[in-house]
Structure 1
Amino acid sequence: MGRLASDKDPLLVLRRATGRHTIRQYLYGALTIVVLFFIYRWITNPPKQPFIDTQRTTFGLSEQKNVIDTKVNTGNTLELAIYMESQCPDTTRFIKKQLTPTWQQLGSTGRVTLTVVPFGKARCEPVGQDFKCDCQHGANECQLNQLMNCVIDDIGYPDKYVPVIDCIQGKRNLNDAYEHCIDNTSSLHSNRLKKCAEGERGRRLLALAGQQTAALTPPLTFVPWVTIDGSRVTDAYYDLRENLCKRLEPMPEECNATA
């Protein structure tokens, strides 16, 4: 009689080895296909990165910020520019009654870009590498204008700097503005802003604001001077929200909100 095949049977051992080898081939092949599939998906659909927004400040200095682009803009956009002075009573009334509440309502639409230029009817002239400036309401106004320009340049985004400009507007002097608007705001770099406002950089930023103001056509004759898409709109001084909303097509739902 033939003997029973045992684990030591050479033929059985060979068949088992061959079977294991075949299984490994299938497994390696399947793994290779899976890996290639994920590589293909990664190449054709790379991971989404935060939207990089390079926003220009009022003075042409660019600052790159990481923001998630969640706004879907439909319709036209408007460019709103305010040329103003920190101690002008008409500007104070406009900032607090028109600009701030209007921006709170329409700023989030992403359809209005805002530029604020604190200079007004001031004058600046170069002195060596520095500047000497004279302002309509005196030296304190020049310093407050410089502080505003420093805030705008440092922060960059209107959503963040408009409340600070609103706070500074109409203050008596720098110390008054520091106490109520700068020192008690944790998001601001108070020491850097103070150094800027009282130093050469603040005067240079004020002079740059003067260049922007001097480029207006027609030239500025009243403060605040309000332009929409580059043209002065006199009525915007009295009702900024209405003058923006009637130019937005289609009109955003924020325009229907109670003022």
Structure 2
Amino acid sequence: MFSIILSLIFPIYCATQIDIFIESQCPDTVRLFKRMKTLLDYEQINEYVQFNFIPFGKGNEKLVLNKGYEFNCQHGNKECYGNLIDSCVLEQLDQIEQLRYLTCIHQEKQNNEELINLSLKKCVQNQECVYERTLKCVQSKFGNYLQHKAAKITLAQNLVEIPWININGQHIPEFDKKFKQNPLKTICEQIDCEKIKVTF
């Protein structure tokens, strides 16, 4: 009992927050999630790291009367649609499921809305309700709000490249670079991975 109380007062790990700004059609985002796939082998890491995935990237938005927000994206309309899909999916999933979904969707061909929808269905294959809710979300005011929220957070960063990675609310170029090269190793420099039995 005493050890439980002690661990609550003096936790073994300090929580780390990692914000990851992404785009649905960005080749560098695809490469990042290929490397992040290794994190799925160590799900316990998610107890000590909070990931925030923000799908907007290099773009802009404008408010149109009676329509909500309209978005322009670096890689065109298909990217805006893909970002919106991601925003709607991420809203429904816990962190492990978010990572699993993103590592899947970013390995799929997404050359148009039809292919994006097929990729979505594949990547939430055991969660039919997520697929159906996502398609409704995309057409809704709530979906528009979610994408506006992602745009607002992204535009406040003055980012120069995608992916763009912050740790604990700050952009540290060295951390950004190291994380893109080896996410698992970089995380283990922030938390004690010995008890998680991480092997490189």
Same fold (TM over 0.5): yes
Residue 86 (structure 1) shift = 0.5
Aligned to 2:18: 80
**SS of 1:227's equivalent?**
strand
Partner of 1:110: 47
Q: CA deviation at 1:244?
A: 1.2
Asked if structure 1 preserves the Cα contact closer than 8 Å seen for 2:55 and 2:87, the reply is yes
Letter of the structure 2 residue corresponding to residue 146 of structure 1: L
1:140-176 per-position Cα deviation (integer Å, ceiling 9, x unaligned): 0000000000001122x11112222222225223322
Shift of the 177–95 alpha-carbon distance from structure 1 to 2, 3 Å rule, reads: same
Matched, 1:154 2:92: yes
1:201 aligns with: 142
- Rg larger for: 1
* C-alpha separation in 2, matches of 1:208 and 1:137: 20
1:163 corresponds to which residue?
100
Match of 1:226 among 136, 156, 165: 165
Taking structure 2 as the reference length, the TM-score comes to 0.81
Q: 2:125 is aligned with what amino acid?
A: T
State whether structure 2 residue 127 is matched by structure 1 residue 187. Answer: yes
Work out the number of aligned pairs and report it: 181
Distance 2:34 2:70 in 1: 30
Instruction: Structure 1: state its 5+ residue gaps.
Output: 1-72
- Provide closer, same or farther for how the CA distance between residues 251 and 108 of structure 1 changes in structure 2, counting only shifts above 3 A: closer
Percent identical among aligned pairs is 24
Higher relative contact order (CA 8 A, sep 6+): 2
Within the candidate set 57, 60, 63, 1:123 is matched to 60
Give distance in 1, aligned partners of 2:46 and 2:86.
25
SS at match of 2:154: helix
TM-score, length-scaled by structure 1:
0.64
- Closer/same/farther in 2, CA of residues 162 and 115 from structure 1, 3 Å limit: same
Helix, strand or coil: the match of 2:30?
helix
- The 2-side partners of 1:257 and 1:78 are apart by 17
- Name the counterpart of 2:32: 94
